[in-house]
Amino acid sequence: MSFCLELHLQQSEDYEILISKAGFKEAKKVIENHSPRILYVKPGAKVLGARIIGIPPIPIGIDETQSRITLPYTKPCHGTAVVDLPVEKEEIDKVKAIAVNPMKK
């Protein structure tokens, strides 16, 4: 079964919010400063079963040793949060496959 970000955030406590109610650019800096590797995706790209909302290029933080992903999570009334959560390795591979300009920090 594929990962569903919405369901994970509703039903699990296994995630960390690095910042909340932020502007997108502020959230972007948090991701870029937090993760050992950053991949960039297009607006609307599907990551962990959810469309990623934001201004391009949108950073997705990758920590392959810990198998974790850090990503922006935007809601109309609450601004942008940054969520860091554990994922299966295959989910990291899916992000690599859709990255538009993979860059190592």
Partner 1 sequence: MKKALILLGCPESPSQTPLALYTAHKLTKIGFEVTVASTPSASKLLEVSDSEEFYVNKKIDLELCLEDLEEKEYDLLVGFVHKDAAVSYFVTFYHILNTKSIAIVFEKDSDLLEKFLNDLKENTDATLISARAYHNPTPIRVKIDKAFNVLED
Does 103 help bind partner 1 (rule: CB under 8 A)?
no
Residues within window 72-101 making contact with partner 1, judged by CB under 8 A: 74-80
Residue from 42, 93, 96, 100 in contact with partner 1 (CB under 8 A): 42
Q: Residues 6 or more apart from 11 whose CB is under 8 A from it?
A: none
Does 44 help bind partner 1 (rule: CB under 8 A)?
yes
Does 53 help bind partner 1 (rule: CB under 8 A)?
yes
Does 4 help bind partner 1 (rule: CB under 8 A)?
no
Name the one residue in this structure whose structure tokens are 């609307």: 44
* Beta carbon of residue 11, minimum distance to partner 1 (angstroms, whole number): 17
